[in-house]
Amino acid sequence: MASPKILIYSATAGYRHDSIPTAITALQNLGSQHGIQFDQTEERSKFEDTFLSQFDALLFLHNSGEVLDQSGKDAFQRYLDLGGNFIGIHGASACLFTSDFYNKTLGALFDYHPPLTNATVVVEDANHPSTSHLPTRWDVEDEMYNFRSDPRTVGAVVLLSADETSYIDNGTRTHDQGSPHPLAWYQERLAGVTSTDLPLVGRSWYTSLGHLNQTWQDDTFLAHILGGIQWTLASNTTRAFNSNGNVGNSGAAPTSIAPSATGRRVEHKAYILGTVILKNDTNNLSAIFFQWKWSVVSLPELRFLGASDAVRDGTSKHDGGPVSGDVRDMKHGAEATFHRQAQK
């Protein structure tokens, strides 16, 4: 079966990072190791409906300026409205400044940064696959981006923040980016779609880190990137994981296991027409059959809603017997149905 497909778009219309080739190579290497197919382009003309429809996510990398014409922006918008996912890395926030849908899709746009510096990054949410492996305080050499708005205002959840006491920033801030100072975040349902009532709304994940060539050779950073990519792909809104998806690589099968949303790993046992078996070794409930996503949730975050609508805690109250009804991921707001027997 085919692998999930991601389009890397690294076009620039201003400043150009010399780490773009290094980053593309690193992403392609991650793809070959984890069953993700990466295509890459800088051609604006590629942003048209037919071409974009084959991808499970669009990844903007180190961009600058107006990297799309209006036709391309319109195709991008339609792709998102069909359930497409978005990933942004570093300079992805420094482009398309006049496009409101892009601002909302990414979460916030670049304002300025002080000179390249050694700084401490604080993990605000260690339960996400892109941060669960990180130390609580992560020392990096990078650009500490400031933003033109607070990503939390469009519903983003901040994953990483900057410890502003760990570096010098003499710049003048004219925008409110919120506190703590955001550096990486995610949106469970990206805000750049034309209507929140659309049946399939994809995910968005962004990190402002990744300026240097050497950063793209660092295993800790690459695990941060991989976790964000895998989490985004697990939206269940594209053909890779949803036979009813409108965009994405049809016939794709999950080929690697992302860390769970609590930092624990879930064990991918099977994937047959959207039915997944997850295993959580931290409790007695060893398997749950349900139809939704193949990773990033773990049983302590699930609530089982039976025919009586009584809420049962999957950690302590579920006895491993037959269950039927709806399952809701209380942490991430996702829902699904299950109709099999949980097995001890």
* pLDDT the model gives residue 127: 97
Q: What are phi and psi of 205, to 5 degrees?
A: -140, 135
Domain annotation for the chain: domains and CATH numbers: 5-233 (3.40.50.880), 267-338 (no CATH)
Q: Which residue positions in the chain have pLDDT lower than 70?
A: 1-2, 251-344
- Strands 57-61 and 85-89 turn out to be parallel
The answer to whether 156 and 107 have CB atoms below 8 angstroms apart is yes
* pLDDT the model gives residue 2: 54
Burial 278-288 (b: 16+ CB within 10 A, else e): bebeeeebbbb
Spatial separation of the C-alpha atoms in residues 171 and 28, rounded to whole Å: 36
DSSP 215-230: GGG-HHHHHHHHHHHH
* pLDDT the model gives residue 250: 85
pTM of the predicted protein model? 0.75
* pLDDT the model gives residue 136: 98
Residue 93 carries which side chain, given as an amino acid letter?
S
* pLDDT the model gives residue 213: 99
Residue 55 three-state SS: coil
Spatial separation of the C-alpha atoms in residues 63 and 134, rounded to whole Å: 26
* Cα angle 179-125-31, degrees, rounded to a multiple of 5: 120
* pLDDT the model gives residue 3: 86
Residues whose CB falls within 8 Å of the CB of residue 104, separated by 6 or more in sequence, listed in order: 154, 190, 191, 192
What digits encode the pLDDT tens for the residues 131-172? 999 999 999 999 999 999 999 999 999 999 999 999 999 999
